[in-house]
Each structure stands twice: as C-alpha cells, then as structure tokens.
C-alpha cells in the first residue's frame, strides 16, 4: 500500500502543472497521501512525561544584593521545586528501547511513557549524552512493542520527503510533512546539541523534541531536536540528529555503557576557506586543516602532521571540526576509520584507530577534606583524558581544578583553572595541594592559568 502511494506521488509529480484547478479524476488521486505510512510508523512514537525535583533556596528581600545575599545564604532553607515537562520519543526495539533528547529526560527524576494505544510504562535512562542531546530509555515490563528501523542517514539526500511525528504543545500526536532541506548543518541550532544535524522544513514545535523524522519507507532518519526561531514556534527550519549517531549510542547502551564513549582525536583544526586553499596551493577549498596535534593522538601514530588536510572519514566528506567529531563518533570506539589525507599534491588514505583519550600519566585526583581552607576542592594531573573531559587546550600541563567546591566557587575558582602556585610554591603534584594549603596560615595566594590569562587570587582566611 505504501509503495502504491509512492508510485502515485511520483506520477503526480511528473504531471505538468497548469494554472487551472481541477477535480481529482481517479481513485489514486483521491487517496493520495501519507495515511498508510503514518498508520505503520506512528505507533512507534511515544509521549514522554517527566518530573524533575530541584532544590531552590528561598528568596529574600536582599536576594539581588551581593553583600546581604551572602549574609542570609546560610539562614534560608532550600525548598523542593517540582518541574513537569513534555516531550516525545521513538521505540527502537520490541523490548522497549526508546530514544529521546537529553534535554527532555536527562535530568528527570521520574519518567512516564505513554504509547498511542494508551499503554503506560515507567522508564529509566540507561545511557545519556548531553553533548549530542540524546538519551536512551528502557521501558519497564515492555514486550512486543512496535518499533522503527534505523536508516543509514548518510544516504539521505536534500529534497527527500520527510515526516515529523511528535506531540507539539501537548495537543496529542501530530504528523507534519516536508522535505530534507539540508545536510551536515553545524552551528545553526541552539542549546546542548552536538552541532551536526539534518535540516527539514517539516513543522517542529515544543513537544516535538525527541520525536521521529522518517522517510517515505517509514524508516527513522533522525530524532527531532531543535528549531531556529525567534518566536519559539516553527518557521520551517528544524533540525534532527542523524540516525547513524542514534544507532551508535543505542549500541553502546545495549553493551552496558552508562555514559557515551566518544573517540578522542587529540587534534584541533579549522575549515579550509578560499584564502587558505589558495595559500596551500589547493584548486578548491575542501576539508579541515590540522592546526595542532597532541603527541599521544592516534592521528600522530597514523602519520598525520600539523598542516595536513583531512577531507574524508570512511568515505564521507569532512569540512569542519564538528563534522570530524561526528564521523568519529559514528565510527565507534575500538574501530578503525579510513581517513583521507591531503598533503601538498599527494592524496592518500590512512587507517586511524578510534580510541579513548589515554589516562597517562595517571590523573591521581585529590579532594580536600572538610578541615581544610577550601573543602571540596578537587584537583587532577593534566593528561589526555583530563584534557578531553575538561575541554582544555591540547598543550595544557600541570594540575587542574576539576571541582572548586562550594567555598572555592564563591572565591572565584572555576573548573578548568590550572593551578600554578600556592603562596609562591609551584604545584607539580596533586598531593602537594593539601600540603601547601595547610601551610598557608591566615593568607592564601593562588596563581592560576585560565584560558590565555594568568590570574592571581588572594584570600584572607
């Protein structure tokens, strides 16, 4: 039935258009539509109701005054606040594996999933990834559920018909149609998204988040996640997370991983624009040029150098760091990716191991106890794993603050600050931090590196 509808669509599209309107003359034209496709796919899209309990400090008349707010901070009791929200999800297996957005379920304390036939399930998050804005749920006691198959999203083309299914504004399950408007969109959607999307003009509104974007065969090509809008409503520019990344995250969830493991590149780079291409003697601007490499990077092991241009990963075009990170994530941890390198007039393909950032030398984290000048302060030795996790510069060295603790945060310390010296004593090991702090007496002087700035913070204890 779906195939017949598609044939009718093609025939209708091939018919020359005229300025006149006319009455449909055949049963095929009368029944032209997506109804058979929706009947097949819609049962696999669910409504998700979440409850999040947060602790908020009771506001006082002095809450906006920096001095008095600090004075009354310890006197006001924190109160619980319950936040309810609504989103969508997609069933990917008959035993109740559901994918949704991180911003829908990632911080929820209670998750309830309702299917189109009004069955309700409690759900728990088994894997989440804030960077890609995806979360995988397991429905309790689910079996024999309808589900959608994943399509290879690298085969999706601009101009394909697409349907978005979700629960916009809580009005109930809704279907909107459109086309794929663009591929490999980066830096265009706001929020916590990973920055690599399919673009569609199918209407996506609040509540559609986590819903399905399907093709005319009923296969899942993306998870609806963001819109570009000034009003908050759909303007015909919506974004979906490609199905290939969804598939890798589901694979890791089924293997028991609780946090998505993304391969480490150990490099930084920039897109090759027209000026850069001309300076490098390239006929056309393409790819991403490597501007920095960590000595432990798997790309160094494979033979890459600063100044090389990466144009493809596993046969897919790469033109920016976001696309590079996406392609590595799709390749998956432990696999070997084929990376196309341009060096001068030479072009070759090198095998690169997809690996985690090494925890060498050991990070050796240390957390300060309650009877110290900065209780809760946590520091670690900088290594590739810490650089990757904290988003530090590739050339960062020394001891970094991973958690400033409550007192440290009030004093102006931030995660990612590199601790250079305490009261003039250079810090080389994490174990030296509590020692130097215990010797600080009534005055404390911290030398820090924050980004490209050196800071000197002084405290009276």
**Range with lowest mean pLDDT among 51-60, 83-92, 387-396:** 51-60
pLDDT of residue 230: 61
Contact 125, 97 (CB under 8 A): no
Categorize the per-residue pLDDT at 95 as very low, low, confident or very high, splitting at 50, 70 and 90: very high
Residues classed as catalytic: 103, 133, 209
Of 262, 250, 384, 242, the residue nearest 332 (C-alpha): 262
pLDDT of residue 15: 41
Q: Which residue has the higher pLDDT, 273 or 29?
A: 273
Q: Which residue has the higher pLDDT, 192 or 459?
A: 459
pLDDT above 50: residue 2: no
Q: Sketch out the chain's domains with CATH numbers.
A: 2-33 (no CATH), 34-258 (2.40.10.120), 267-353 (2.30.42.10), 366-460 (2.30.42.60)
pLDDT above 60: residue 301: yes
Mean pLDDT for the stretch of residues 250-272 = 94
Q: How many CB atoms lie within 10 A of CB 268?
A: 15
Categorize the per-residue pLDDT at 258 as very low, low, confident or very high, splitting at 50, 70 and 90: confident
Question: What is the crossing angle of helices 321-331 and 243-254, to 10°?
Answer: 40
Q: Which residue has the higher pLDDT, 35 or 56?
A: 35
pLDDT of residue 286: 95
Categorize the per-residue pLDDT at 78 as very low, low, confident or very high, splitting at 50, 70 and 90: low
Give the whole-angstrom CA distance, residue 32 versus residue 5: 6
Q: Sign of the C-alpha dihedral, residues 198, 203, 207, 211? A: negative
pTM greater than the 0.75 cutoff: yes
pLDDT of residue 53: 75
Categorize the per-residue pLDDT at 441 as very low, low, confident or very high, splitting at 50, 70 and 90: confident
pLDDT of residue 168: 85
Question: SS3 for 23?
Answer: coil
Percentage of the chain beyond pLDDT 70 is 84
Mean pLDDT for the stretch of residues 304-329 = 95
Mean pLDDT for the stretch of residues 44-48 = 96
What is the DSSP track for 225-275?
EEE--SSSS--S-EEEEEHHHHHHHHHHHHTT-SB-------EEEEE--HH
Categorize the per-residue pLDDT at 55 as very low, low, confident or very high, splitting at 50, 70 and 90: low
**What digits encode the pLDDT tens for the residues 174-218?**
999 999 999 977 754 443 445 689 999 998 888 888 999 999 999
């Amino acid at each position: 039935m779906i195939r017949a509808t598609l044939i009718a669509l093609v025939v209708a599209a091939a018919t020359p258009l005229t300025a006149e309107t006319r009455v449909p003359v055949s049963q095929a034209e009368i029944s032209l539509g997506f109804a058979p496709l929706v009947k097949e796919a819609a049962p696999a899209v669910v409504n998700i109701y979440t409850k999040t309990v947060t602790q908020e400090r009771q506001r006082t008349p002095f809450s906006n005054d920096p001095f008095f707010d600090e004075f009354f901070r310890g006197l006001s009791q924190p109160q619980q606040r319950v936040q309810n929200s609504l989103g969508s999800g997609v069933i990917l297996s008959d035993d109740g594996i559901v994918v949704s957005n991180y911003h829908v379920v990632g911080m929820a304390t209670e998750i309830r999933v309702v299917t189109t036939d009004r069955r309700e399930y409690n759900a728990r998050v088994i894997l989440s990834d804030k960077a890609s804005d995806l979360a995988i749920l397991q429905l309790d006691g689910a079996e024999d559920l309808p589900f959608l198959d994943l399509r290879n999203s690298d085969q999706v083309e601009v101009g394909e018909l697409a349907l978005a299914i979700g629960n916009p504004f809580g009005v109930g399950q809704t279907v909107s149609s459109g086309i794929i408007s663009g591929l490999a969109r980066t830096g265009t959607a706001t929020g916590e998204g990973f920055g690599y999307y399919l673009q569609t003009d199918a209407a996506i509104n609040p509540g559609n988040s986590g819903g399905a974007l399907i093709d005319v065969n009923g296969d899942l090509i993306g998870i609806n996640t963001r819109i570009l809008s000034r009003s908050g409503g759909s303007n015909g520019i919506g974004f979906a997370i490609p199905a290939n990344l969804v598939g890798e995250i589901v694979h890791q969830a089924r293997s028991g991983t609780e946090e998505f493991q993304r391969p480490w590149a150990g490099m930084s780079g920039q897109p090759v624009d027209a000026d850069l291409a001309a300076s490098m003697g390239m006929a056309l601007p393409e790819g991403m040029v490597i501007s920095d490499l960590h000595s432990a990077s798997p790309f160094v092991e494979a033979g890459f150098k600063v100044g090389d241009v990466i144009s493809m990963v596993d046969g897919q075009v790469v033109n920016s760091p976001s696309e590079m990170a996406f392609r590595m994530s799709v390749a998956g941890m432990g696999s070997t990716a084929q990376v196309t390198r341009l060096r001068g007039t030479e072009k070759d393909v090198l095998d690169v191991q997809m690996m985690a950032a090494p925890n060498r030398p050991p990070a050796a984290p240390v957390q300060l106890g309650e009877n110290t000048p900065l209780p809760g302060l946590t520091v670690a030795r900088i290594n590739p794993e810490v650089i990757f996790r904290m988003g530090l510069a590739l050339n960062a060295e020394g001891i970094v603050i991973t958690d400033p603790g409550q007192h440290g945060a009030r004093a102006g310390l931030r995660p990612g600050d590199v601790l250079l010296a305490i009261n003039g004593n250079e810090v080389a090991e994490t174990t030296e931090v509590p020692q130097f702090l215990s010797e600080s007496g009534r005055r404390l002087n911290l030398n820090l590196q924050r980004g490209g700035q050196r800071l000197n913070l002084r405290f009276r204890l």
